[in-house]
Amino acid sequence: MSDSGFAQTPQPPYYAVMFTSQRNDQDPQGYAATADRMLELARQQPGYLGVESVRDANGFGITISYWESQDAISQWRAHGEHRVAQEQGKLDWYEHFEARVAVVERAWGKR
């Protein structure tokens, strides 16, 4: 689940949802297909700004999605197809996960 490289975010403030997870080895094809579908759906959500995602060879991953508002995050979290994927992740794909939400107040970098 990744856009191509860095997310193109606006000037702050905006919100970041940080999702860290440890994958198990169950159903890698089903997981990949669902992750791709969730990215496709997220891109269609009002308030979506972008995503950055990595996973190492041991299955530990970090995905940060960026949003215009807390309301946009809540709408995405409650999206029906996303809810189904969340439950499947809990039951089938993740040994452990954490989700955190933060306000991005400052941002800088080299482009």
Q: Report the phi/psi class of residue 5: left, alpha or beta, with left for phi > 0 and alpha for psi in -120 to 50.
A: left
Write down the pLDDT at residue 5: 87
Write down the pLDDT at residue 111: 81
Match 């193109």 to its residue by tokens.
Answer: 8
Q: Is the pLDDT of residue 2 over 80?
A: no
Instruction: Write the pLDDT tens digit of every residue in 47-62.
Output: 999 999 999 999 999 9
- Using alpha carbons, select from 52, 83, 47 the residue that is nearest to residue 68: 47
Contact 105, 12 (CB under 8 A): yes
Task: Please state, in angstroms and rounded to a whole number, the distance separating the CA atoms of residues 70 and 14.
Answer: 9
Write down the pLDDT at residue 41: 97
Q: What is the mean pLDDT of residues 14-31?
A: 97
- Using alpha carbons, select from 40, 41, 43, 47 the residue that is nearest to residue 15: 47
Q: What is the mean pLDDT of residues 40-48?
A: 97
Task: Please state, in angstroms and rounded to a whole number, the distance separating the CA atoms of residues 73 and 48.
Answer: 8
Structural domains of the chain, ranges and CATH numbers in brackets: 14-104 (3.30.70.100)
How many other C-beta atoms lie within 10 A of the C-beta of residue 107? 13
Write down the pTM of the prediction.
Answer: 0.92
Write down the pLDDT at residue 1: 45
